[in-house]
Homo-oligomer: A and B are copies of this chain.
Amino acid sequence: MKYIADITVMPMKALLDPQGKAVTGSMKNLGLSEIENIRIGKHITLEIEASNKDIASSKIDEACKKLLCNQIMEFYEFTLRES
């Protein structure tokens, strides 16, 4: 069965996010000073072939830990649905 995963990888809350900070500054220049505390991470979608949802979920966990997420600086979350 084929599943689609939506993965979000974000910088850890305890760490500074310089990219987000720069964009927060740009919002003020655009007249959107109500917007603050921007944090920027990655959103990843992928398709996975697996016999059930548990197997798909553990494979995606493995992919996140080995490749998609640097767990020293980032954390990840994902949702899984049938395609």
Q: How many copies does the complex hold?
A: 2
A59 to B46, CA, bound (A): 30
Q: Which of A1-37 contact B (CB under 8 A)?
A: 8-10, 20, 23-24, 26-27, 30, 32, 34-37
A67 touches B30 (CB 8 A): yes
Can you list 12 residue pairs at the A/B interface with Cβ under 8 Å? A24-B46, A27-B63, A30-B66, A32-B63, A35-B59, A37-B47, A38-B45, A38-B46, A39-B45, A39-B46, A41-B42, A41-B43
Q: B-contacting residues of A (Cβ < 8 Å)? A: 8-10, 20, 23-24, 26-27, 30, 32, 34-50, 59-60, 62-63, 66-68
* Besides A23-B67, A34-B48, 18 new A-B residue pairs in contact (Cβ under 8 A), listed by A number: A8-B43, A9-B43, A20-B44, A26-B67, A27-B63, A30-B67, A32-B63, A32-B66, A34-B49, A34-B50, A35-B46, A35-B63, A36-B48, A38-B46, A39-B46, A40-B43, A42-B42, A42-B43
